[in-house]
Structure 1
C-alpha cells in the first residue's frame, strides 16, 4: 500500500539552534552539501527552517542597506524595512522562516510531495506527536518512491490491492509499463471496479490506471433489473 514519510525520511538531520551564528549556519550547509536545515529549540521542537536562499537574501540585504546608508535613502517601504532587518541578521533566529511547514512520519509520501509543491519548499522537517524533530524529508527522499520498477509496482498491486484489500480471485491480470497500470479480468460485481481502480492508483509509483475490467452482475441497478454484462459502462 502507499508508502509513508517515515519509510523514506533521512533520520540523521543537520540542524541549527536559534542562537547559531550566521557564519556557522553557512558552514553547516556547505560542509554537509545541503541546501537547507531546520532550526530547533531546547526541546528539539522545530521553530523554523533556513535555506540557502535565506542566506543569499541576507547578503543581498546587507549590500543594499550599505548602499542606502551611503546615499542616505530613507527605508520607506515595508520590504525595505524587512531588508534592513535581514541586513542586521546575525543568528539563525534572525534568518529562519517561521513557522516551519512540517509533516508526521505516518503521512503518505504523495501527500508530502503535494505539500512541497504547494509551498514551494525543498524539504520538510518530520516531527513526532509532540512536534519534536525526528527526521527530514527532501525531494530526493520522496523521489525514490517514484523510481520503483514496473515489476515492483505490479507486484504490490497484486499483493496489497487485488489479494489483500479486495480479496479478489487470482484471475485479475495486472500489467505495468512506465508506471501505467492496466487491470484486466472479469469481476463478480460492477461496484468493485471503481474501488479497485482507486486503490491501484494510490499505489506509489503508479502514474495512471487503464480499466480493462468487466463484470458479471450489474449491482449498480435495482435488484430486480440486474443484468449480466461484459462491459463496464462506467
Structure 2
C-alpha cells in the first residue's frame, strides 16, 4: 500500500523527538564481536563487481569552484553529492547536499559564513570555494571492488555515497544507497516495515524557519525530516537537503532578498520549500514492497502508517539497506 497524502494524523504512539542525543549509526547493531558485519545470503548470491550497479559517469566539480557552482550543479543534475577533483581530474574529495545545508545555516560550517563573510549571502555563495566545505579525505572503492566490499564500506562508515575510482585515479562513477537497494531488493524479504523503521520522529513544523530545519538535519545527520502542522497533530510534508539545494540552486533564495544578510533567507518558512507529497507505507508491509514503493515514487523515505492511517514512524533507504544486508 502506498499513497501521496498530506494531513496524516500523528499517532499518539509515535514519539516526537527534539533536543536529544544524536542517533547512533544503526549499522553497529549488527556487528559480531570481531566487528565484522553479518552479511546475509542475499549479498553472497548477488556478489559481483561494483561496476554492475554504479551510477556513471560521476558528476564532478573542481575544488576551486565556488559553493554556488556546486549547488547549481547538484540542482541541475538532481544529485545529492558531487565528486571533487583536482586540476588533473583525480579524486580529491566529495561534497554532499548535507554539507551545503550545514554550511548555509545548519551546523559548524556556518561559522565560515558568519566570521569570513559577515552573513553576506553573496560572499558565502560566490566567493567561498568548494574545498572549504568538502570532505577532503573521502573513502572510495575501485572499479575492481566487489559489491560486498563497497557495501561494507558504506555500512561501517555511515556513507550514503561512495566514489568509484578507475585504475588511473580518475572518478569512474558513484554508488549510492539507492543503487544498492534497487539491485538487492525484491518484493518479498520476510521482514516487516515496523521491524526496521524509526519510530522516534525527529520533526520540524510548518511554521519553523528553514534555519531550524537545517540545524536539525545537521545535528542528527539526516537528509530529510517530516514537517508537522503547527499544532503537531498532522504530517503535512517532508523537507529534505535536496529542497535546500533546489531553493539555492534555482536562485529562488536570492530573489527573496532585500539585503545581503543570509539570515533574511534563513527566516523563510519551512512550508515554503518543503514537499507536500507524503508517500506512505503500512507498518505491516514487507520491506521489499516498501523499497518498490520508493522506486516507483522516486523517493528515499516513506512515512509509516498503521491500519487507521495514523503515522507511526519513518523508513529510509538506509533502513532497508541494513535490513537486507545485515540480518
Distance in 2, Cα, partners of 1:42 & 1:118: 31
Distance 1:15 1:29 in 2: 10
1:97 aligned counterpart, secondary structure: coil
- Specify the alignment match of 1:112 in structure 2: 150
- In the alignment, which residue of structure 2 is the partner of 1:28? 73
Residue 61 of structure 2 aligns with which residue? 16
CA distance in 2, matches of 1:118, 1:207: 11
Tell me the SS of whatever aligns to 1:100. coil
The 3 A distance-change label for structure 1 pair 22 and 145 is: same
> 1:175-208 deviations in whole A, cap 9, x for unaligned?
xxx99xxxxxxxxxxxxxxxxxxxxxxxxx7888
Mapped partners of 1:114, 1:140: distance in 2: 15
Name the CA distance, whole Å, in 1 between partners of 2:164 and 2:102. Answer: 26
Decide whether the 8 Å contact of 1:37 with 1:49 is kept in 2. Answer: yes
SS of residue paired to 1:50:
strand
Report the alpha carbon displacement of residue 105 of structure 1 after superposing the two structures with TM.
1.9
User: Residues 3-152 of structure 1 correspond to what in structure 2 (within 5 A)?
Assistant: 3-60=48-105, 61=110, 62=112, 64-65=114-115, 90-148=128-186
Q: Give me the whole-angstrom Cα distance separating, in 2, the residues matched to 1:206 and 1:96.
A: 29
Tell me, in whole angstroms, the C-alpha distance in 1 between the residues paired with 2:182 and 2:102.
Answer: 31
Shift of 1:51: 0.7
Q: Distance in 2 between matches of 1:49 and 1:87?
A: 18
* Aligned-CA RMSD value: 3.1
Native 8 Å contact 1:89 1:95 kept in 2: no
**Secondary structure of 2:87 counterpart:** coil
For structure 2, list consecutive stretches of 5 or more residues without a partner in the other structure: 1-44, 189-286, 289-323
Task: Determine the C-alpha separation between the residues in 2 that align with 1:125 and 1:100.
Answer: 8
Larger-Rg structure: 1
Deviates more, 1:37-46 or 1:55-64: 55-64
Distance 1:93 1:66, change over 3 A: closer
Q: Distance in 1 between matches of 2:148 and 2:63?
A: 31
Write the distance in 2 (CA, Å) between the matches of 1:14 and 1:42: 15
The unaligned stretches of length 5 or more in structure 1 are 71-85, 151-177, 180-204, 209-234
Q: Count residues with an aligned counterpart.
A: 140
